Structure 1
């Protein structure tokens, strides 16, 4: 993995990976930003993403945190798989768009620790923190990248 890769090339590489994931395509997950060790992804609200009260489903909150953290780790070490992740739901996730910002806390040869914040962007243009999370990711050996 080339840690000096230009941000626009890094973003394009992650966008190509994102397009291969059927779940991400179904959700509508988009990559917004990529730097070595950090990413931002977005998900636009659709009613089928909600739970019974109309909030973003907690399963999707976890998916956004897991995905953002995985991409942040991939910017430094290549392919990874989640070994463990934890999510803290701070308030109902209500908004027109959700943005997850993840960063690598500590990279390693076999494990990567990451952290993420998930924001809901409301109709008023305000962003509100709705969840936080962290992941422990295992580096996939034999990465062709």
Structure 2
């Protein structure tokens, strides 16, 4: 969604800062590799504690990465003083994810004043290339922060 305009000029620093301050994000240990208006990419290194018994990323982790990527993409389009929260998401797991990294690419489908609809695709990255392993549709509730 490269044609989108970010109403907050500091979105590229603010979104990663807010997201990475969340305990769940800190536990996962991902980082942002791209932050643009309506479009983000996060990279999750493979870690044993995020896997099932056979070394594949656990499905809930893939869902969390999709949620963080889509929500972050939506967050890039919020005005100053606003945040968002997930109210609904649907994840379809399409293939196992076992590579050294997983990449989640979030994008805004339909921004709105109250609700923003976003999506994310999650890829397992290995030497041979990327494999689409999950896709998600996410609804975010936009919330104006109370003045401090």
TM-score scaled by length of structure 2: 0.87
Q: How far does residue 47 in structure 1 lie from its aligned partner after superposition? A: 1.1
- Distance across 1 between alignment mates of 2:14 and 2:132: 28
Are the counterparts in 2 of residues 79 and 143 from structure 1 also a CA contact under 8 Å? Answer: no
- Normalized per residue, which structure has more helix? 1
1:132 to 90, 113, 135: 135
CA-based RMSD of the aligned residues comes to 1.8
Of 11-20 and 103-112, deviating more is 11-20
The 4+ residue runs of structure 1 with deviation greater than 4 A are: none
SS in structure 2 opposite 1:140? strand
Match of 2:59 in 1: 58
Whether 1:90 aligns to 2:91 is: no
Q: Which runs of 5+ in 2 are unaligned?
A: none
Partner residue, 1:24: 25
Q: Of 102, 107, 112, which residue of structure 2 is paired with 1:103?
A: 107
1:113 aligns with 2:117: yes
Q: Give the TM-score normalised by structure 1.
A: 0.88
Of 33-42 and 14-23, more deviation after overlay is shown by 14-23
In structure 2, what is the equivalent of residue 79 of structure 1? Answer: 83
Aligned residues: 140
Aligned equivalents of 1:34, 1:52: Cα separation in 2: 33
